[in-house]
Each structure stands twice: as structure tokens, then as C-alpha cells.
Amino acid sequence: MEGAEFDDILDDWFIESLKTYKDLHVYQLEHPTQVIEWTTGKTVCVAGYSPTKNEILELHLPLKLFADENKGLCAERDFKVVHGGFTDGPVRCLRHVPGTRCAVTSDGLSSNLQVWDLGGDDSDVIRRTGSVEGRRGESEGGSRIAARLSSQPQILHGARSSDIQLTHLTSGQTLYKLDTDSADPLSSLQFVSDSVFLAGCCNGNVYVADTRTSAAPQLSPPLASSGESILWWTDAFAGPDPSGCRVIRLSSSGQAVVSDLRNPGGAVSRAQLDVQTQRCGVDGVRVSWAPALDDCIAVSGFSGAVQIYNTSVWRTELQESRPLFEHRGHVVSSQQSNDGVPVYVTSHVWHPDLPRTLLSAASDGSVHVWDWVDQSAADGPAPGTK
């Protein structure tokens, strides 16, 4: 693309963004990240995934983002590095342990985990403090990690369904192991209540289990009519009532299926998403429920865009669905990567409290935080805030 043509496209998008974003802030990392993890409501942790040494950083979001009124008078409009350190290898998964200044990472090479002190008021250094041994040695894709708020720091982790265990972070004691003989590679792992968790597998299987009991987990395979798919990604959102937990499964062919945790094998609704299915890997694609916006999901990793979909308009029969909103800032502001490969989104995450605010990262090292405007609100009822 010629420089003049690129400048015209960038100018057009900038003018369009004045109407489509309430807020938009940009930060440039030295190396791209696949992880964005909230440590507080105003700070996130990111880390690189290069084969050798990488930065691990805690970033404070621009204060302007949180100004209720007179945003133009707020001087702090940039991201700020508040804590930082270095890793000896890639970081493919990162989880903050709630209630602590501790994070746990996976390098994607084995099921073992690395434990980090994120620093505090007296130190701006993030340093490694220990490790957690997994149940499997080398493991393609590494471990998935889930953490919950508890009196004693604990993490749930595993690379495959047969490896899942709950570990006491301080003592290293194993508190729970999932009872299954299947060794399905995991694409996600998350708590939906204090004790109930959901494990999403790359083949579309979903396990639901309770760490308080040794009973066998509930297993739900993907719908038989979901078409050909090599990979699946899963996310769940419980809200204040875990019994009404909703599960979404997204396939590499672009089909999305919403189900209820009480009947995860059935389909409440489904849709064929408007995504590019040529490029996708198990660590690249993300699908996530909005924690503070009814029925909305975000999808990334298929291209250089983050798409927002409203699932409330989906039906039980398969239908094509167009995104409610599409963030194209990463691909518009970067022509292509140094090796000629188009820029693609590597991660995204919703803000836990601000309904339409997300962070996203891309393969060119860019990190964006954006508060999008629902243009459909003028044409009819928009998804409500929780």
C-alpha cells in the first residue's frame, strides 16, 4: 500500500472514530502480547511471547478513561508503566490471583507454571518467586489457569482434561484432581462459582465439575450439527446467579453456540459469525462474554479486528450474524508487520465494570483501550447494562 493511500485510510478512520468511540487510547509495547489480565479496575498485566527474554509489565490505564465529567480537562491521557520485570521465556497464559499481588503464568511449553510477585508501593519490580509443578511434562500449548478469591491463594490448572488440578499456591499441595480418563487438550479453564468450574476443550467438549466433590464431571460434547471444525473455544458467564450461567462455544469455522449450564449439551441459540476462518490457532482466538452488558460477546483472533455481537437476536436455528460493532483500529493504524504478514489481534478483554470498554492487543505490539458507541441504539432497544 502506498504511503499516501495509507494516510487517507487512516484519516478516514480517525474521522469515523470521533462518532463511533466515546474513548480511544493507544499504547505501543516493544514486543506483542497474547495476555491482558486485570490486576485492579485500572491496571492490567501484559507480557511478551518471544521464544527468549520478554518483558512482563503492569500498566495503569489513562486516567482520562475514568473521568466522569470534563474529560478534556484531565491531563493524564497515556498508559503508564507502574511495575515491570523480565521473563526467561514466552508467556502464553497469565492469571492474577484475586486478593493478592501475585500472578501465575504458563510458557506454553510444559504444564509447569511460574509464580510472580507483582510488586507494591515499595517496589516497582515484578520478580519471579516460585513455580508450580503440573501433572504432565512437555505439553503443546501449555497449561490453562483459573484463579478465584479465597482465604488461601489457590489456582486451578492443567494442559489436558486429565491433568486438571487445584493447587495451594503457598504449600504446593494438591487439593483436587478432575476424575476423567479423557486427555482432551484444553482451550479454556474458568470458575463459574466459588467451587464449580468449566473446562473447555479444543475438540468442543465441555466439562463441568465441583472442587468440593470427587464425583465424575458432567461432560457435554459439541452439537453434532455444528459442522466441520478443527478447534473450539469456550467462555462462560455466571453473574450473581450461577444456576443461570451461560456458555458460548465458538468453532474455527465461525459457528457460535450458546447454551445453559443446566443443559450445556443443548443450544439456546446459535449463529454463523462474520469472521475470516483461514487463520486461527488455539492460542490466538478469544471469545468472551461482556461482564456488564447483557447478551454481548467479543470475538478476536481471526483477523485484525475485534468484533462485538449481540446474542439476544440469535435463534435456535443457525443463521448468519453481523457484528454490532467492529474495532478495526489495529489493522487500520498499521499497514503490515515486518515480515509482510497482516496485523492480527492477539488478545482482548472486557473491563469488569465499564459496560462498553475493552482492551485489545495486536501482533504489531499495539495495545488499545476503547469505549465503543452502540450505533444501533438509535434504531431500537440496545442491550442493557447489568
User: For the chain, what is the largest distance between any 2 Cα atoms, rounded to a whole number of angstroms?
Assistant: 64
Residue 238's pLDDT is 79
**DSSP single-letter state for residue 347:** E
What is the pLDDT, as a whole number, of residue 321?
Answer: 97
Rounded CA gap, 365 and 380, in Å? 37
58 closest CA partner among 49, 39, 45, 42: 45
Q: How far apart are CA 108 and CA 134, in angstroms?
A: 12
Q: How confident is the model at residue 69 (pLDDT cuts 50, 70, 90)?
A: low
Closest CA to 41 of 307, 363, 369: 369
Q: How far apart are CA 214 and CA 195, in angstroms?
A: 12
Query: For the chain, what percent of residues have pLDDT higher than 90?
Result: 67
pLDDT, mean of residues 308-335: 92
Lowest mean pLDDT among 92-101, 243-252, 291-300, 364-373: 243-252
Q: What class, spelled out in words, does domain 1-283 have in CATH?
A: mainly beta
For residue 337, what is the DSSP state? Answer: -
CA distance readout (Å), 17 to 9, 24, 324: 12, 8, 15
Q: In this model, does residue 73 exceed pLDDT 50?
A: no
CA pair distance 291, 192, nearest whole angstrom: 12
* Residue 163 in this model has a pLDDT that exceeds 60: yes
**320 phi, psi to nearest 5 deg:** -75, 145
Q: Supply the pLDDT for residue 64.
A: 84
Phi, psi of 377 (to 5 degrees): -60, -30
187-196 pLDDT tens trace: 999 999 999 9
Model pLDDT for residues 79-96, shown as the tens digit of each residue: 999 999 999 999 999 999
- HEC string for 235-287: EEECCCCHHHCEEEEEECCCEEEEEECCECCCCCEEEEECCCCCCCCCCCCEE
Specify whether the CB–CB gap between 252 and 282 falls below 8 A: no
Q: Give yes or no for residue 382 having a pLDDT over 90.
A: no
Instruction: Give the β-pairing of 269-273 and 320-321.
Output: parallel
